[in-house]
Every structure is written in C-alpha cells, then in structure tokens.
Amino acid sequence: MCAGGFSSVVLVAGAVAAGGLLTAAAPVGTTDRAPSAWAGGTPAPVGVQAPTDPLDGRDSADAGSAISDTIPVWELAGDPDSDEPVERGAYLARVGNCVTCHTEEDAEETDFMAGGPPVEADFGTFYGTNITPDPDHGIGGWSEGDLARALREGRGPDGTHFYPAFPYTSFTGMSDGDVADLYAFLMEVPPVARENRPHDLPWYMSVRTAVAAWNAFNFREGRFQQDPERDEEWNRGAYLSRAVAHCSECHSSRTTSGGVDEDLRYAGTSEGMDGDPVPNITPHDETGIGGWSERHLTRYLDFGMDPDGDFAGGSMGAVISRGTSYMTDDDRRVLVRYIRSLEPIDHSVD
Ligand code: HEC
Ligand code: HEC
C-alpha cells in the first residue's frame, strides 16, 4: 500500500525550482540575517549579520506588547536568546522551516503562515496548511497541547493522522520549551481566513489511516536525547539538526517502507526531489563533504555559496534562504560542528 510512498519528500520552493534562480529566493522580512547574495548582490563575508535586533535596548518586561507594534510578526527574524517567547518562537519557525513550508514566497500580513508552496513527494503534492490562529481556517482553536501532539505525534486534535510530508518524524524530538515558544509565536501571527489547498494525491493515498501503517514501520515518537559522552555544544548542534532543521529528512536514503535508512542517515540519496540526487553530507572524503572545511560549511549554510563558488539550488536554496541563513553565528557553528562529527559513510548518490 503506502510502502515507499513517503520517500524523498521534497520542498519545491516555487521560484527556486523554476530554473534555479536564486534571485527570487530572497527571504521574508527586513530584519532577516540573509545576506545580499539572495537578492542577487555580492555575498557578504562569512559571519556578517544584520546588526539590528528588534529587541535591542528594550526592557523585556514591556517587550511582549511592543513586538507587534514595532516589527510586524511576519518580519521577525527571531532570537533564540531572547527573554520573549514570541522572539524565540519566531526563530524556531525560521530554522525549522515552518515558514518555508507554510508560507508562499514574499509573505506579508495577508498570507504569512496561511499556506505554503507545493511540497513534492514520490506519489503526490502537498501544501503546507494555514497555521495562522484563524479559528475556522487555521489553528485558532488549538491548545498548546494540540500543537505538541501535531509536532510530536503527527496527529490532529481529533486524532487525524497527518501525512509525513509534514516532518513530525523529526519534530518529535523538540523540547517542551521549544514547542511552547512556537505556540506563543503562532498565536501572535495575524489570523488569515484562507482555505487550505487540497493535496494532490492518488486515491489510494487519500485515506489518512494509511499513515498509521506507515508510522508503525517508520516512526518512533520521542524527545531528543542528549548524548552524555558529548559536550553541550555538540548536543545543541545535534538537536538543531535532528529535531528542528530536520536535515536528514532530505539527506538520507529511505528503506522500502519509506522511512529513513539508519545506515544511510545523512549519507544522501539518489532518489531525491524530481528524481534528482540529494548529496551525502557525512564527512566522507570521496562521496561526502570530507573536503569541506568548517568555514566552507558555515558559509554555505549562511548564504549558500559552496567551496567552488556555486550557489545552492533546488530545495536547499529555500532551506538556506528561509532557514539556516537566519541562524545565529553560535547555532550555525554548533550545527556545522555536529555535521562534521558525523561518521563518514561511503555512499555515492550519482
Ligand atoms: C517540509 C514541509 C513542512 C515543514 C518544514 C513544516 N510543515 Fe507543517 N505541515 C506541512 C504539511 C504538508 C502539512 C499538512 C499535512 C496533512 O495534511 O496531513 C502540515 C501540517 C501542519 C500542521 C497541522 C495543521 C492543520 O491544518 O491541521 C501544523 C500545526 C503544522 N504543520 C505546524 C508546523 C510547524 C510549527 C512547523 C515548524 C516547526 C512545520 N509545520 C514545518 C508541511 C511542513
Ligand atoms: C528539503 C530538503 C533538504 C533539507 C531539509 C536540507 N537539505 Fe541540504 N541539500 C538538499 C539538496 C536538494 C541539495 C543539493 C543542492 C544543489 O544541488 O545545489 C542539498 C545540498 C546540501 C549541501 C551541499 C553538499 C554538496 O556536496 O554540494 C550541504 C552541505 C547541505 N545540503 C547541508 C544541509 C544541512 C546541514 C541541512 C539541515 C540544516 C540540510 N542540508 C537540509 C536538500 C535539503
């Protein structure tokens, strides 16, 4: 039945997919940390970030009400170290690609989080839903527990199974604090009364109970577990990659039942989006990114330029421009450290 069906779930961020033109992949907002390269300009040097922090100099006690008065919620780049849950949630929504999948390009008040560009899987096309707090069309009626259940169990308030095009398989690792921050942020988003676009699926996949079988094979619910053998930074990098930014959802080969093949996690797949391969990002010298320095990887995740001076294309373009380019230097550094610490796997995807 649904065997293999959910493999190579891939986001096609419209403009990026259309001819790989990075010029159209500029991220949302004025406070973004994305460098000018995304707008077609000259790449900024590594580590350069916009100096503006929306909460700089602001007393945390009055930050709550001030946020939406000064910087509109849909333009918040977010800050993981803020005292303000909405700021921390905004950050997670960028780094976790919630914005990428649930918002069309160039979002503004009227469509922020109100439904996203097509997400292509082997057997169908999905659309990120309206997750604004509109009571009828969005998640306005949801409690924080409902959001936690969606992210961690892949189920709606009434128990409905979500399709794993929504990567709850990774988000299940999120901490209670991060789920609470995401909830605080989503509830501040302007409600938009926009209907969900139906997914484009063959009849046999339109039965959501098929997902229960898929889950039985491929999904294990559970929070991210710290590795006590490693230090705090490594664990933060691992958490960001595994639970939030879900790098291995795309960068892994899949088993015949459609789950991540644990032996090839991060080792790439020859059957990614549109049948194109997704590279092996383990530090294997010949088949992975063993030849990339820490600086190469940092620069790539910051503004998309690889060691040869080429820019990231396909779905990775959107992951960077709408996701990892928003990371703080510290988070990007620990993420890079984690990726570079992976066991090298000899796996060629071409
Ligand atoms: C790769 C694309 C993708 C990413 C990344 C993603 N989502 Fe989604 N999300 C989807 C799709 C597609 C659905 C619809 C699933 C379905 O209909 O079964 C969905 C459904 C949901 C739902 C259920 C809403 C409803 O209408 O019932 C919630 C809540 C949600 N996502 C929140 C989030 C949050 C929060 C994040 C970031 C932490 C996130 N999503 C990241 C694609 C994505
Ligand atoms: C939605 C799918 C997707 C996600 C999520 C994703 N990637 Fe990618 N990644 C790709 C694709 C596709 C490419 C190939 C890009 C190209 O052809 O220019 C790529 C390329 C890369 C490369 C370049 C490798 C090379 O050999 O050229 C690196 C490094 C990388 N990704 C790291 C990451 C990290 C780290 C994360 C998590 C923060 C991540 N990716 C999340 C799809 C994804």
Q: What is the DSSP letter of 306?
A: -
- Read off the pLDDT of residues 88-144 as tens digits, 9 standing for 90 and up: 999 999 999 999 999 998 778 899 999 999 988 777 899 999 999 999 999 999 999
Confidence at residue 121, expressed as pLDDT on a 0 to 100 scale: 78
For residue 249, give the ligand 1 atom closest to its CA.
Answer: 1
Helices (H), ranges, the chain: 14-17, 60-70, 85-95, 98-102, 144-153, 168-171, 176-186, 210-218, 232-239, 247-250, 294-303, 314-321, 329-341
Cα–Cα dist 113/185, whole Å: 11
Question: Is pLDDT above 50 for 57?
Answer: no
The Å distance, Cα 195 to ligand 2 centre, comes to 31
Protein residue with its CA nearest to atom 9 in ligand 1:
166
What mean pLDDT is reported for the chain?
A: 83
Q: Which residues line the pocket of ligand 2, CB cutoff 6 A? A: 10-11, 241, 245-247, 249-251, 272-273, 278-279, 281, 289, 297, 300-301, 306, 312-316, 319, 324, 339
- Between the alpha carbon of residue 209 and those of residues 129, 161, 162, 166, 198, the distances in Å are 19, 7, 9, 16, 17
Helices (H), ranges, 33-161: 60-70, 85-95, 98-102, 144-153
* Per-residue confidence band for 3, with pLDDT thresholds at 50, 70 and 90: very low
With the most atoms of ligand 1 within 8 angstroms of its CB, the residue from 127, 166, 215, 240 to mutate is 166
161 SS3 class: strand
Confidence at residue 35, expressed as pLDDT on a 0 to 100 scale: 34
- Read off the pLDDT of residues 201-219 as tens digits, 9 standing for 90 and up: 887 777 888 899 999 999 9
CB-ligand 1 contact for 101 (6 Å cutoff)? yes
Cα–Cα dist 324/300, whole Å: 9
Which one has a higher pLDDT value, 188 or 122? 188
CB-ligand 1 contact for 171 (6 Å cutoff)? yes
Confidence at residue 30, expressed as pLDDT on a 0 to 100 scale: 32
With the most atoms of ligand 2 within 8 angstroms of its CB, the residue from 316, 321, 326 to mutate is 316
- Read off the pLDDT of residues 299-341 as tens digits, 9 standing for 90 and up: 999 999 999 999 999 899 999 999 999 999 999 999 999 999 9
Cα–Cα dist 134/73, whole Å: 15
Q: Which residues of 270-297 are buried (b: 16+ CB within 10 A; e: fewer)?
A: ebbbeeeebbbbbbbeebbbeebeeebb
Domain boundaries, the chain: 10-341
Protein residue with its CA nearest to atom 27 in ligand 1:
156
For the CA of 324, the nearest ligand = 2
The Å distance, Cα 8 to ligand 2 centre, comes to 13
* Per-residue confidence band for 5, with pLDDT thresholds at 50, 70 and 90: very low
Confidence (pTM) = 0.86
